[in-house]
Each structure stands twice: as structure tokens, then as C-alpha cells.
Amino acid sequence: EAQVTQNPRYLITVTGKKLTVTCSQNMNHEYMSWYRQDPGLGLRQIYYSMNVEVTDKGDVPEGYKVSRKEKRNFPLILESPSPNQTSLYFCASSPYGGGESGELFFGEGSRLTVL
Amino acid sequence: GDSVTQMEGPVTLSEEAFLTINCTYTATGYPSLFWYVQYPGEGLQLLLKATKADDKGSNKGFEATYRKETTSFHLEKGSVQVSDSAVYFCALSDPMDSSYKLIFGSGTRLLVRP
């Protein structure tokens, strides 16, 4: 089954404790991206990657890092989480730039709470 | 910059009622427009899209027409079902944006009662 898998789905952590949210897709997509969803704000892009070893900042990259060492994986790293990073995070992928076709394939989301 | 504005929710309807969810956009270029749907506990799924003015996107009984003169892309369905209860997001993409990102509205929650 074609899918984007995120882990963990739910996480409660404390300020400053480094964490990684993993994302893996099995569709051989070149483009991957991370969004965060906050009430009243919709989804905002954090980082994106056009291909292996090619990553770039989105609209809200502060406090986040990413890497793309393999085509299928695109982990989101929070080096020192803060309470304002409490949010619902979505990983998404597309066979090419999502903007061309508009069809992004989303994972089920990871709900992160930072105390 | 580009932006998308959706009507506030929740929208509560009875089964078989007519649905309209308003969406307007601001863009400097000629964006493509989309509706995504998010069912409870799931990620977003593309519902329909339109890539140029006067195009009509349709899927699963939902329709939306790209209106350049009013910068709108309202979502409609003639007869909603309980299973349509979800959050609906209007979004746009700028073909000239090298990040290929989608710009989303804030989402509109639809509740359909039996």
C-alpha cells in the first residue's frame, strides 16, 4: 500500500529535550515536505526537499532541522524543543514538486506537546 | 504574499442539505487552486483541483469553480452525507514558487447530522 508513515504519532516531551520525528514514504517520490498545523492558521511549510541531499527552508523553519540522506526518509529534528513548537506535524510527499500537480500525499500526523 | 481565506466553522448541516464553503484567495500570479479534506485522525487528502480560470474541479459529488474575477474557489455539494463530516482546506500553489509549497486556508469543519 502506498503510504507516508510518521512516527511517533503522539509525543509529550519537555523543553530542551532533543527529539526526532521520522517520516518514510514507499512511493519513490522525489519531493518531501514538513508542515505544521495550528488552530486558525491552517498548515504552514517548515522545510522541503526536492531530492536526496537537497533541502531548503519553508515559511517557518526556526527551531527545526531536517536531513535527506535517502530518498524515502525525511526526518524532522527538534534540537531544543520549546512550548511554541507544540503542534500537529504532517509529512508529505509528491512525485515532483507538489505545486505542479498540487497533490501532496500526507502522513497521518504527529501530535507533539512540549511542556 | 499569497494567501487563502476560508469561512469560519464549524458548519453544521442535516443530511441531504446543500453545502457551500467559501474560499477566496490573494495571489500575484496565476495560481492553481485545491480543496483538501481531513477526516478525523487522518492526514489530508486531495479532494479536487483547478489549474486555470473557469476550470471546474469535481470529485465525490463535490464541485468548485476557479473564478478569477472574484478570486474565489467555493466548494459545493448538492446533498451532504454524514460521512462528509471532516475539515476542509482550501489551498493554492504558485507555479513560479520554487519551493512548490501549498498555501492553506485555516480550514472549515463540517458536521453533518443524521
Give per-residue pLDDT as tens, B16-71. Answer: 999 999 999 999 888 999 999 999 888 899 999 999 999 999 999 999 999 999 99
Burial class (CB in 10 A: 0-12, 13-18, 19+), B54: exposed
DSSP conformational letter for A85: G
If one compares A99 and B94, the residue with the highest pLDDT of the two is B94
Number of other residues whose CB lies within 10 A of the CB of residue A49: 20
Q: Do A100 and B97 touch (CB under 8 A)?
A: no
- Give percent of chain A with pLDDT exceeding 70: 94
* CB of B93 less than 8 A from some CB of A: yes
> For chain A, first and last CA: distance in Å?
36
* CB of B26 less than 8 A from some CB of A: no
HSE (side-chain half, CA atoms, 13 Å) at A40: 0
Question: Looking up cell 527551531, which residue turns up?
Answer: A63
Q: Do B89 and A41 touch (CB under 8 A)?
A: no
* Chain A residues 49-78 with CB within 8 Å of chain B: 50, 56, 58-59
- How big is the CA angle at B41 (ends B87 and A73), to the nearest 5 degrees? 110
